[in-house]
Chain A
């Protein structure tokens, strides 16, 4: 991982950005409460906070995407009225959005000049832009071909196109919103090197993230947000992940999961040569072969979009397998041959899908309706051919108390629970059926730290109760702390397996980028 910077070199004079008393409401939601923030010129400033703490809203206000209800923005000491992205660009603020704002069918050059074409006819501006791009690429070693089509580039490179776009517009202040969510650890390191170069050139960088490791590694100063308010400012060198997480959550949290040795028993899930195609007929899972035994957690790591989702969906019975077999306790349960999600559930496979809102629950339903989805035919929920709402309410209340879902009101609309509480409800629904096998994807995506701790404990408890667990996650920290064995997927294939005790971020990162596991370990040995 990247080296930490000393805080000594950041003795700055005029803040590059100063926010005073920024306040913003969305209806009943108070997204930003009287925020004050100073970002020194020529520094990398981190902003941390849980999902929904108001970080992105604050940055959107700074970039002119929303207007604050109250408060002022000062750039280089001057009061600025920022009513749209064009105003932000004009005062030298550039933004790299979490979801890239790129036109995939365009070339890098076309994406960069969009909005600053330099003339009604493209030819006039294009050659000048090409020269300028060459200069920027040399200066910041971005390694991008200006004529490449953006859709063909890797995510890491697309992100550099976004940075290039901002620099081309003369940005002196660069805001990056959760920039590493889609990157391999190596790509993230490369990004931080680029940010360092930017800093050396006198640019100011604001880094928004919920990953404390990145804050510690890459920033000079850090500000912490909680529930819409700015709760602390620290010099990175003078704080610790423990302190920051406590500030973020408002109470002490255990960052490292305590778990004992695993006791694997008989094989529960046996996947043999499984291939899965997507709707366009593209093979997304290529000859996956592995087993999951009772009493162990097998983690599948990989950069998002490398076939993990399709694998999980095929095992869960919602996507047909094209080739290969899946056996559950020696019985064929390959999806597509008369085996669907309902049949798998009857046989004791619980599935917590990756995308909570799209696949795990109907947010317009009440909690009790959401709590029986997929199990509504259970006789326990039926009375005389109709749903027995008293029994369902009681069961939901039971789930809520068992999984600490707050508020514990079975009649509340699912959409009105926080992400963490929605996820706990989904987990309760699946885990309390006492399944043989738990398939769980991205269990803590969009979930606050406090709930992450709880969810991780419950997953480990499943394992300790002798159940088999297959975990898919793009968060390496999560995989490394939960799994007993780690499989790494790249481009649809399982590149290799690493025991959790031997795993580290570098080896996994190389494997996620498609490097053979033996080579990855050898490279690690040399490093």
Chain B
């Protein structure tokens, strides 16, 4: 295998590994831009993944599974909103509570339903999202350079990968070019300004967490019905937190967050590829180090190399009218 082919394969894997991160990072962005900290991404992703796999297994359609995942994550978002927005609870605690709850609940329900130690049964082809082959992809496969880019890198992914990448400009447009986005950003910066402008702060924040729920639901469904073929216990393995880190890394903006997700996705893909590979002069690459890189990078880069990441001003603060 030549180097070019290796790079294409690595990038191809990067697209697949970064897809759930992109969807979840955008989900986090919608929630946090409106002032609600969303540490619950991890747990919501897990809940979405479980619902998608379980429903897809019973119904035999990945689309119904996807809807189930989104319904689950919207419900969890509303729960988070009920604690944080309506009852002004601690947003970090509520988020962590959802994470812990979902880690246990998915396993519990999984065992009760399927008795496979927390897993869901393997999905057949028709119950999963299948790769979409672009027209002529096979024909151009042997054209040097461009052929491989088209057939391997761009073509042959499942629908959710394309949705994730299209969701980034869409989120940008909603955030910066619509009335909804303007109000959403305003409510995360100064809810008082929104209130005195005659817009309901609470309703606005709920709408933001519902958007967050839709996106993170897709991210969960991707894990169990597109990338994988069943739900595994704790299969998110920290992806929710990585997505959150990517969002902070991207300063709560869609395109920089996309770049961060691609970087983290690339490191993930590289870690798999580099497993057991002996590099000249270095020796065998310690896989654990590569796996830890996203976290290490986040800490180091946030500590000063990318400039200060300024969060939305009202992030984490429930809105209370002053007397």
Q: Point out residues on A near B: beta carbons under 8 Å.
A: 26, 57, 63, 65, 84-86, 89, 95, 97, 99, 101-106, 110-111, 113-117, 119-123, 125, 165
- Are A115's CB and B198's CB within 8 A? yes
Total CB contacts across the A-B interface at under 8 A: 73
20 extra A-B contacts, CB within 8 A, seeds A95-B196, A165-B197? A65-B196, A85-B195, A85-B196, A85-B198, A97-B196, A101-B193, A101-B196, A103-B185, A103-B189, A104-B190, A105-B189, A114-B183, A115-B197, A116-B197, A120-B178, A121-B178, A121-B179, A122-B177, A123-B177, A125-B179
- Given contacts A86-B198, A111-B193, A106 and B178 within 8 Å (CB-CB): no
- Are A121's CB and B177's CB within 8 A? yes
Pairs across A and B, CB under 8 Å, 21 listed: A26-B323, A65-B196, A84-B198, A85-B197, A101-B193, A101-B195, A101-B197, A102-B190, A104-B190, A105-B185, A110-B182, A111-B193, A114-B182, A114-B186, A114-B194, A114-B197, A115-B183, A115-B194, A115-B199, A121-B177, A121-B178
Cross-chain contact of A117 among B179, B321, B322 (Cβ < 8 A): B179
Could you give, for residues 110-151 of chain B, a 1 whenever the CB lies within 8 Å of some chain A CB and a 0 otherwise?
000000000000000000000000000000000000000000
> CA–CA, A256 to B197, complex, Å?
42
Cross-chain contact of A103 among B181, B193, B322, B323 (Cβ < 8 A): B193
- Given contacts A86-B198, A104-B313, A120-B178, A99 and B183 within 8 Å (CB-CB): no
Q: How many residues of B sit at the interface, in one of the four size bands?
A: 20 to 34
Residue B89 at the chain A interface, CB threshold 8 Å: no
> CA–CA, A363 to B288, complex, Å?
51
> CA–CA, A121 to B190, complex, Å?
21
Q: For chain B, residues 153 to 183, give those with C-beta under 8 angstroms from any C-beta of chain A.
A: 177-183
> CA–CA, A459 to B73, complex, Å?
62
Could you give, for residues 187-226 of chain B, a 1 whenever the CB lies within 8 Å of some chain A CB and a 0 otherwise?
0011011111111000000000000000000000000000
- Closest Cβ of chain A to B194, distance in Å, is 7
- Are B192's CB and A99's CB within 8 A? yes
Which residues of A have CB within 8 Å of B182? 106, 110, 113-114, 117, 122
Query: Which interface residue of A26, A63, A103, A110 has the most chain B CB atoms within 10 A?
Result: A103
> CA–CA, A118 to B208, complex, Å?
21
Q: Point out residues on B near A: beta carbons under 8 Å.
A: 177-183, 185-186, 189-190, 192-199, 313, 321-323
- Given contacts A104-B189, A104-B190, A105-B189, A120 and B195 within 8 Å (CB-CB): no
- Are B178's CB and A101's CB within 8 A? no
Which residues of B have CB within 8 Å of A57? 323
- Closest Cβ of chain B to A119, distance in Å, is 7
> CA–CA, A304 to B321, complex, Å?
25
> CA–CA, A27 to B300, complex, Å?
51
Which residues of A have CB within 8 Å of B185? 103, 105-106
Which residues of B have CB within 8 Å of A119? 179
Closest chain A residue to B187, Cβ basis: A103
> CA–CA, A97 to B196, complex, Å?
9
Which residues of A have CB within 8 Å of B189? 103-106
Which residues of B have CB within 8 Å of A120? 178-180
Which residues of A have CB within 8 Å of B192? 97, 99, 101
> CA–CA, A116 to B193, complex, Å?
13
Closest chain B residue to A56, Cβ basis: B323
- Closest Cβ of chain A to B242, distance in Å, is 26
> CA–CA, A106 to B312, complex, Å?
12
- Are A106's CB and B177's CB within 8 A? no
- Are A122's CB and B178's CB within 8 A? yes
Cross-chain contact of B193 among A114, A122, A125 (Cβ < 8 A): A114
Query: Which interface residue of B189, B198, B322 has the most chain A CB atoms within 10 A?
Result: B198
